[in-house]
Copies of this chain bind each other. A is one copy, B any other.
Amino acid sequence: MVRAETPATLEEVARAANVSRATVSRVVNGDRRVREDTRSAVEAAVRDLGYVPNRAARSLVTRRSGSVGVVIPEPTAQLFGDPFFPRVLRGIGDALAAEEMQLVLLMPQVRADELRVGRYLAAGHVDGVLLVSLHGPDPLPDELRARGIPVVVGGRPPSAGITYVDVDNRRGAAMAVEHLLADGRRQVATIAGPQDMPAGSDRLAGYHEALGSAGLPINEQLVEIADFSLEGGRSAMERLLARAPRLDAVFVASDLMGVGALSALQAGGRSVPDDVAVIGFDDSPLAAQAQPPLSSVRQPIEEMGREMAQLLIQMVTSRERVARRVILATELVIRASSRR
């Protein structure tokens, strides 16, 4: 490996291999119609000179940057005690690395940042955009789509016509509640998340769905809304206990809130799972480490990231703009908190 002052260029490789720039370019880009011996000569020269293509020069002519923007708004980054953020990035990073694409991370915090980020993306400096949007309405995906820039959203987007990947929050919640009912629980309460977030409302919808299909009435006394925080879960559980002291199970829309609920139940003299069964959501490390270990709904976060990136790469390369949606299955993980 040569450590030249200035990196080797195509030109230099061509000279060393006694061929033209065009031929080296073909070899480097895997064009098939190059004779075997020329190819190996070029490859040797590439190795000798430690040649690495200059991305800027390449981008200039191909009009592709080889990078995608990943937008994670501040609230999403901070929201979770469980490592949602690194996991989704890991999945995205994996899929992009496989295609030699770079991940340009954008974390707008204030409105001014969002505008700056929007301008940057709209300027076409990236080949496509991944938006991990777990909170309310965001005009960004529509804006970008209008400009013809490929976008994939993680989590259900506010508007239709956008390609997105989501986990099956609704089914996951329904499975949890079905499990509680099958276990013989009859007063199944829920602590739901904020209703302006799809992850909040979809999980509550799943709760309703499961009760509905079991032919059970919805009792509003058994529903509390909290903010996905530990303390929020704790106080919601206290309110539920005060209103409905005879509840025998609770489905909590996040593990963090679930841990809060657990401590409120214990403080209220309830034994888990004997008196009250508890199931959380996320299957974060917290769940397994709680006392008692918390049953939870597992969501395939890395896979969501990977799927997002793959969909985007497809859009970028095929240039088709048909909106697609992918819903990834969730899975119920049973632990002591819901076992008799």
Contacts and interface: CB of A to CB of B under 8 A. Distances in A.
Interface string A77-112: 110111101100110011001000011111101000
A49 to B, nearest CB: 13
A266 to B, nearest CB: 10
Given A52-B123, A60-B60, A291-B263, A78 B89 contact: no
Contact of A56 (B7, B60, B104): B60
A252 to B, nearest CB: 15
A52 B126 CA distance: 13
Given A56-B56, A104-B67, A105-B103, A77 B81 contact: no
B7 A123 contact: yes
Interface string A178-203: 00000000000000000000000000
Interface residues of A, number: 49
Contact of A83 (B54, B85, B291): B85
B7 A124 contact: yes
A104 B106 contact: no
A109 B90 contact: yes
Contacts of A105: 70, 89, 93, 103-105
A304 to B, nearest CB: 16
A107 to B, nearest CB: 5
B83 A78 contact: yes
Interface in A207-235: 229-231
Contact of A147 (B3, B94, B102, B116): B3
Contacts of A116: 97
Nearest to A65: B56
Contacts of A260: 289
7 contacts: A55-B65, A56-B56, A70-B105, A77-B86, A89-B107, A97-B116, A230-B286
Interface of A: 3, 7, 52, 54-57, 59-60, 65, 67, 70, 74, 77-78, 80-83, 85-86, 89-90, 93-94, 97, 102-107, 109, 113, 116, 119, 123-125, 147, 229-231, 260, 263, 285-286, 289, 291
Which are the 8 A-B pairs with shortest beta-carbon distances?
A56-B59, A52-B123, A77-B86, A56-B60, A230-B289, A105-B105, A93-B107, A103-B105
